[in-house]
Every structure is written in C-alpha cells, then in structure tokens.
Amino acid sequence: MGRSILSIIFGSRSAAADDLPAFAPVVEAPAAPVRVETEEERAERERLEALYREEGRIEVDAPHPTNEHGRWFLPGAGKTEWFTDMEHGPELVVVPSGRFLQGAPNDEPQREAWEVGAESPQHETTIPKPFAIGRAAVTRREFKAFVAATGHDAGTLRNHGFAQDDSHPIIGVSWKDAAAYVEWLSKITRKQYRLPSEAEWEYAARAGTTTPFWWGASITPEQANYNGTHVYEGGGEAGVHRRGTVPVLEFEANPWGLYQVHGNVSEWCADQWHRGYWEKKDHLKASGGPQVNGNSGHVLRGGSWNDGPQFLRAASRSRLYGDIRLGYYGFRVARSIA
C-alpha cells in the first residue's frame, strides 16, 4: 500500500528550524613535513603491500581509516572496515566491482508496485570498478556541518513531527540539497564525491544477493523501519509502524556493511527518471552510470519509514521532482576511488 497523494504533497510540516550547533569552520589541515623512510621501513612496506594485493585489497586515499590494514581495503568487507575523509563526514565502505541482474524478476511478489513497467526488463549491469558508498544515509549531524560551513538553507533541518537526534538520517532534503552537499564534500576533501547511480545503489544494496531484500524473500518490522501494519505478499508478519525515522545504524548491516538500504528513508540517486529499462543504453549497462537525460524528476530508492514493505524491495524505484522537500527522503553518498 502506498502513500496518499495528500500525504505526499503536504506531509507533516511543522516548520520550526533547529538551532545549529557551533561547528568550527572546516579548514584544510597544513601539510605535514615529509619524512624519508629507511631502507628497512621500505622493505617492510613493500612486503605488506604485496601481501595485501594477494589478498585482493586495494589502496584507498583515506585519511581516517577504521581498518587494521591502514589504507588497504578489501572490497566487500565493510562490516569491519570503513573510512572517513573529514571530521563530521560520512563513513564509507568499499564495494567490489562485478556484475548483477538489475530489476525485478517476473515472479517477484508485488513487483512494480509504484508504477507498472518501472522495474523491467531485468538485465545484467556491470560495475567495472570498485567504489565507495556511505555506510549509512547521511545523518543530521553530518548535514549540520555542511549547513554551518556554507549557510545552506536550514529549512532542511525543520521539525517533521517526530523526535530526531543527530544519529538519525537527514530528511526533508531535495535532490538539489543532496547535490549541493556532495559538491561541498568534493571541494573540502578534494575527493570525487557524488550521489550514487541507481545501478550502483541497487548493486550495493543487494550485496551479491538476488532476493527482494538482502536477507531473503520475506520481511518483518524487526528487520527494517517501515509501515509494519502491512504484510508483504512474499512472506512476513505485521507489526509496528514507528511513524518516524530511527538512528541510521539500527538493524543489521548487509553483507557489504551497508545499513538500512531497506526502509527508514528513501534515498536520492544521481539519475533522472526513466520509466523502465526497455531503452537503457548499452554504455549504462556496461558502466553502471546514471541516466542523465530522463524526465519527470529524479530517482529514489529503498523506501521509507512510511511505506509499505513492497516499496522496500531492492528493485523498487520511485521518483520526485528535484526541488521538493518531504520528510520521507534523504540520501547516502558515493565516492570514486579507482
């Protein structure tokens, strides 16, 4: 069951903006003095690098790694390894290159619930290079740092009728707000931040799985935040409707370390909307890149706290015009690393 038109257009909109914390301006750190390594240090470094390459690790220019191997990451090991590029910046995991079937198979229950034809035809898409993607949706804390540094319209931080703290996802952001955030991250960090393409988003959400949800074919409110009064036709049970967001690191992460790819907040992707995959260009199938010449707004993925379970499926797609702010929508970032 979807939202009513009135709830989508008007939603719950109490307009009091939060007071912003006194974040210090984000400035670039001075360059550290260059230290010349010894012969012994060079030999040990080269030995470790050869070992890491044999393990399938790749080196990532990551200033703040949470990884016992420093800047050497094993793609797909995001449950134990992630990094940030700046204080108050999003945590990212490294996703491997590969191929997957994008879209929903013909026998998937409640496929194309949002719009007939939107998930067809299922087709092979290639992700040619590893990339980094947000471990979770961008949080209020992370977005507040951007607002404090740039003076971006703080209406994005207004009250949405339920309690939120800094561990919750930022909501009420338009596609244009999300694009401004990743542009700012790119400028501050000198790294290539962007919104993920919807092909990258679905590939990372599935994490090598083929079922409607990364954990399987059924769903309950114990696994995700959605309108749990509705039961998915593929299996599951009714339960609670939390009527608001929860912290971004609740529930279990998928096999590649991404949290809440199903539910809590629908996530903006880079793509402009195209109804289905019937005319998807070969270069997009081969690159996993975004559709940039669609119409009728931008793509949203993942489903929100107010959606029925059918809208949380990995293949589910919806859209909205790029300048609209509603309390169901947020985003996670992607970053090029190779």
Alpha carbons 145 and 16: distance in angstroms, whole number:
19
Q: Residue 98 corresponds to which tokens in the numbers above?
A: 């590969």
For the whole prediction, is pTM greater than 0.85? yes
Tell me, what amino acid is at 156?
T
Minimal CA–CA distance to 115: which of 100, 102, 104?
104
Going by pLDDT thresholds of 50, 70 and 90, the confidence category of residue 14 is very low
Residue range 161-195, pLDDT digits in tens: 999 999 999 999 999 999 999 999 999 999 999 99
pLDDT at 89: 94
Specify whether the CB–CB gap between 132 and 60 falls below 8 A: yes
Which stretches of 24-105 are DSSP H helices? 39-54
CA distance 224 to 230: 13
Q: What is the mean pLDDT of residues 29-58?
A: 86
**Separation of alpha carbons 182 and 279, rounded Å:** 29
pLDDT in tens, 80-111: 999 999 988 999 999 999 999 999 999 999 99
What interhelical angle do 175-189 and 140-150 show, nearest 10?
70
**Sole residue written with tokens 């199938």:** 285
The CA dihedral of 278, 282, 283, 287, to the nearest 10 degrees, is 80
Amino acid at 104: A
Q: Is 290 exposed, middle or buried (0-12, 13-18, 19+ CB in 10 A)?
A: buried
pLDDT tens string 116-169: 999 999 999 999 999 999 999 999 999 999 999 999 998 889 999 999 999 999
Its sign, for the CA torsion 275, 280, 285, 286, is negative
Cβ-contact 178, 172 below 8 angstroms: no
> DSSP strand E in the chain: where?
58-59, 64-66, 72-73, 82-84, 92-95, 98-102, 123-127, 131-134, 193-194, 266-272, 298-301, 317-320, 329-330, 334-336
pLDDT of res. 26 = 57
- Cα–Cα dist 233/256, whole Å: 27
Share of the chain above pLDDT 90, in %: 83
Please check whether residue 160 is in contact with residue 327, taking contact to mean a CB–CB distance below 8 angstroms. yes
pLDDT, residue 2, reads 43
Instruction: Tell me the pLDDT band of 294, cut-offs 50, 70 and 90.
Output: confident
